[in-house]
Amino acid sequence: MADQQNLPEGTVHNILEQETLKWVFVGGKGGVGKTTCSSILSILLATVRDSVLIISTDPAHNLSDAFQQRFTKSPTLVNGFTNLYAMEVDPTVEHEDVGTSEGMDGLVSELAGAIPGIDEAMSFAEMLKLVQTMDYSVIVFDTAPTGHTLRLLQFPSILEKGLGKMMSLKNKFGGLFSQMTRMFGMDDDYNEDAVLGKLEGMKDVIEQVNKQFKDPDMTTFVCVCIPEFLSLYETERLVQELTKFEIDSHNIVINQVLFDDEVVESKLLKARMKMQQKYIDQFYMLYDDFNITKLPLLPQEVTGVEALKGFSSHFLTPYQPLSNRDQVEWLERRVSELKDQLKEAEEELNTLKKGKQKV
Ligand SMILES: Nc1ncnc2c1ncn2[C@@H]1O[C@H](COP(=O)(O)OP(=O)(O)O)[C@@H](O)[C@H]1O
Ligand SMILES: [Mg+2]
């Protein structure tokens, strides 16, 4: 761990201090701790910003579990806070709410068939449009596992394609196209011009937001992972894709780290710790210009505001395992634990001996 000396501090202070930040994405493989980390980041940001919104775009919503409060697709104030709001959106079904008319749905699903992802892109644009008007100081995204997140970043080009397709259809069939849309029972609100207008409006929002996403002053992506091969591999893929999309990323959170806090006698734990260290070393080697924050694996889950707040201290001060904190204290603990174990074993032996004598 001597290699940490020349590195940026192992905390998320850089994110809290970057006052221009407007969008903070939190992503990584499923189950590594994205929801936990994004919730804590939003809690920490709420201490330094006027207003914070956390949005979950993962269909397997668990902001409600983390905060132990029900959230919906509208921002709701988180209990115990005055400036932290949360909402859960489902990118895959949202478009059904966009137009209630048969015709609109028909066209959208028609488009969805022609251009995979257009429905998701449209609902994402709708959501961003809404959020843009709400004026939060910073918005934290608890994203779906890696694949989904990367798709989300491709939305602008997908929308562009959708628009192109509509245009070409319109040009090709001219009046026939509008006759057809009328024939299929679309009223004037949902004719092809309305749909085109809608797409165009969304494209504007998405283009504007996309510009902000590519601005490192306004947007950053926090990669959450665990010290295991698959997660390291996935993180590398994610970081490369982010570079491709020109999205800034300079924070990695390594969650579920086993620290040498207790006297570890278990062979299994010892082996896991050794394995983790191997991958932690690789993370430091690969991402030497990142802020790497290590979080301990707790014996229990991190749910409820109090637990999240408690765990948040590890985001601000690098975790110090007990064995590093004080060698004497650590050895004293070890000696006392060994004494206890010896006593227990002696008692067990005595009981066994007594039992044998009786027989
Ligand atoms: N460091 C940790 N120690 C113990 N439990 C954790 C830790 N980090 C996360 N958890 C728990 O693991 C589960 C999955 O975490 P979560 O943040 O929901 O992951 P994701 O959003 O990536 O799927 C949750 O029950 C959470 O409370
Ligand atoms: Mg989650």
Which of 119 and 221 is assigned the larger pLDDT? 221
Report whether 207 contacts 239 (CB < 8 A): no
Q: Is 31 annotated as a binding residue?
A: yes
257 CB under 6 A from ligand 1?
no
pLDDT of residue 89: 85
In terms of pLDDT, which residue wins out, 293 or 111? 293
- Range with the lowest mean pLDDT among 107-116, 117-126, 218-227, 312-321? 107-116
Mean pLDDT, residues 323-348 = 83
The secondary element (H helix, E strand) that includes residue 160 is helix 155-173
Percent of the chain with pLDDT over 90: 50
Which pLDDT score is estimated for 86? 97
Structure pTM? 0.79
Residue with the smallest CA separation from ligand 1 atom 5 is 301
Question: Residue 214 pLDDT more than 60?
Answer: yes
pLDDT at position 296 is 94
- How would residue 181 be classed by pLDDT, with cut points 50, 70 and 90? low
Whether residue 62 has its Cβ less than 6 Å from ligand 1:
yes
What is the distance between the alpha carbons of residues 174 and 167, in angstroms, rounded to a whole number?
A: 10
* Cβ(80) – ligand 1 distance below 6 Å: no
Using pLDDT thresholds of 50, 70 and 90, give the confidence band for residue 207.
confident
Q: What is the whole-number distance in angstroms between the Cα of residue 180 and the centre of ligand 1?
A: 52
Return mean pLDDT, the chain.
Answer: 83
C-alpha span between 166 and 196 (Å, rounded):
7
**Side chain identity at 134, as an amino acid letter?**
M
